[in-house]
Amino acid sequence: HTPADVGVSLVLAAVLVLAAVVTVGAVHRGNPTVYLTESGQCYHKADCKYIVGKDNTTAVTLRQAKASGYDACTWCFGHSGT
């Protein structure tokens, strides 16, 4: 590889890392991670008393949970449904 090839590779790597950081930040601000259980019909926050210590949880985005028909856990989210 020439020095120019290495330079291009480093720039490309930096762009990919920046894109990943921006994507993760956007997910957490407008589309937080929520948790589903194998048998449940609600999505939960990570500290929900109904899922803490369970091994059978799946992390998804809030949008994914809503689009899949899950309802908000009333203990986590109160009665607002957010």
**pLDDT at position 26, please?**
47
Q: Convert the pLDDT of each residue in 15-70 to its tens digit.
A: 544 555 444 544 456 799 999 998 899 999 999 999 999 888 999 999 999 999 99
Residue 5 binned pLDDT confidence (cut-offs 50, 70, 90): low
Q: d(Cα 20, Cα 18) in Å, to the nearest integer? A: 5
pLDDT of residue 79: 59
CA distances from 4 to 1, 10, 13, 51 (A): 8, 10, 14, 51
Position 43 scores a pLDDT of: 96
Place of tokens 């929520």: 34
- The band of 78, judged by pLDDT with boundaries at 50, 70 and 90, is confident
